[in-house]
Amino acid sequence: MAEIEPGARLCSGYFDEAAQIALLRELEKAIARAPLFTPTMPRTGRPFSVRMTNCGPLGWVSDRARGYRYQDRHPETGEPWPPIPPVLLAAWEALADYPHPPQACLVNFYGREARMSLHQDRDEADFSAPILSVSLGADCRFRLGGGKRADSSRVFVLSSGDVMTLGGPARLRFHGVDRLLPELAPKLASPLFAEGGRINLTLRRVT
């Protein structure tokens, strides 16, 4: 576990290949119940380049009419989100240093061209809990900025099995994904990665 910036910790290879494959099987089941959807930006209605779904009591969603928010139902099926896979709860317990379990697990699916622009995670009522983020699949260029959008930023490569936590002084730092890197490593066998891509799982306390 390396502290890459105050409050930002990177645990490279936290999940070994067997654990990554077990987690992927759980995600295949979760996505069968709660299909990936394409969120849209508040006001403009512009589609995100990532597709998303969630696990847990609450899920993060966004659309033109109602903007960024958490809700307890899938926006398209109207069903509750599937439970957070136990291996992710165990990772939270081991790494989050927080006395309560996560309430939301956002699942971001990045196709080869997807990216995520610089943003803060600030739709949660309580910033005392960290964000815990797990990478699966293709490597990406992850950008970590400062507390203001214009602050300088640094790029880190996140690889399959890596876990990053943003807590304390890093909890509200801007961050984003510039792009995926060409896949040199063998792909994880999963129908989800038939055309490559990356999955990011973000565990959060919400209320």
- Smaller CB distance to ligand AKG: residue 48 or 98? 48
Q: What is the DSSP letter of 138?
A: S
- Residue numbers at the binding site for ligand AKG (CB under 6 A): 106, 108, 116, 121, 133, 142, 158, 175, 177, 200, 202
108 touches, from Mn ion, ligand AKG, none (C-beta below 5 to 8 Å by class): ligand AKG
Q: Are 166 and 124 in contact (CB under 8 A)?
A: no
Least distance between Mn ion and beta carbon 175 (Å): 6
Nearer to Mn ion, 121 or 139 (CB): 121
Stretch 116-135: interaction string toward Mn ion, x if CB under 5 A: -----x--------------
162 binds Mn ion (CB under 5 A): no
Binding partner at 142 among Mn ion, ligand AKG, none, C-beta below 5 to 8 Å by kind: ligand AKG
Q: What are phi and psi of 133, to 5 degrees?
A: -125, 130
Task: Name the residue with tokens 């067997």.
Answer: 18
C-alpha 77/C-alpha 27 separation (Å) is 17
Q: One-letter amino acid identity for 198? A: R
Residue located via tokens 């903007």? 67
**Rounded to an integer, what is the distance from CA 32 to the centroid of its chain?**
18
Which residues are near Mn ion by CB under 5 A? 121
